[in-house]
Every structure is written in C-alpha cells, then in structure tokens.
C-alpha cells in the first residue's frame, strides 16, 4: 500500500473510534446525571426547579464533549490536515 492509502485508512479508523468513544462516555455521564437529579428531586420536591436548571446546564456541558468528538471526526474525514502533506510527498 502507498502512503495515501495508509493515511485514508487510518483517518477513517480513527474517526470511527473517536465517534464510538466520544458518544459512549457522554451517554453514560448523562444517564448518571439524570439518575442523580431524579433521585434528588424525589428527596426534595421543593427544589425541583433549581435541580432541573442545574441539570440542564450540566447536560449541555457533558454533551459538548460528544460534539467536539464529532467535529474532530468530520475534520479527519473531510478536511484531513495530513492529506495535503502526503499527496505532496507522493508527487515528488
């Protein structure tokens, strides 16, 4: 295989691994946060508004990790920074 094939193959594999790990981690984190929030609301129903607001802010921060992993995967597939270097080296 040539260098171009290696770069494309490795980019696709790394993008897949990034999406897999980047979606499992936040999903587990969100599930745990929701579970703890529901438990807290069940123990103190008067504080449901405060707990819910804090939960939504926390969920947004947790979800940002998955979004960053998605962006990195899209960059690796469609705008690979190593691609131009490998193509330039192959042309020599």
Task: Parse the chain into domains and list their residue ranges.
Answer: 27-79
* Distance of alpha carbon 8 from alpha carbon 25, whole angstroms: 26
Closest by CA to 17, choosing from 62, 69, 83, 75, is 69
The CATH-assigned architecture of domain 27-79 is: Up-down Bundle (1.20)
Q: CA 29, CA 87: separation in Å to the nearest integer?
A: 40
**Which tens digits make up the pLDDT trace of 65-80?**
999 999 999 998 888 8
Helices 48-78 and 3-43, packing angle to 10 deg: 180
Averaged pLDDT, 33-51: 94
Instruction: Give CA–CA dist 65/47, Å, rounded.
Output: 28
User: Would the pTM count as exceeding 0.75?
Assistant: no
Sequence-distant (6+) residues with CB within 8 A of 26 are: 62, 63, 65, 66
pLDDT-derived band at 92, boundaries 50, 70, 90: low
Grade residue 17 by pLDDT with cuts at 50, 70 and 90: very high
pLDDT digits (tens, 9 = 90+) for 24-38: 999 999 999 999 999
């Amino acid at each position: 295989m040539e260098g171009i094939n290696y770069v494309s193959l490795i980019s696709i594999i790394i993008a897949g691994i990034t999406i897999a790990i980047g979606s499992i981690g936040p999903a587990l984190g969100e599930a745990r946060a929701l579970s703890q929030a529901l438990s807290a609301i069940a123990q103190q129903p008067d504080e449901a508004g405060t707990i819910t607001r804090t939960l939504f802010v926390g969920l947004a921060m947790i979800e940002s990790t998955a979004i960053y992993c998605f962006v990195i995967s899209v960059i690796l597939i469609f705008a690979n920074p190593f691609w131009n270097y490998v193509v330039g080296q192959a042309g020599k």
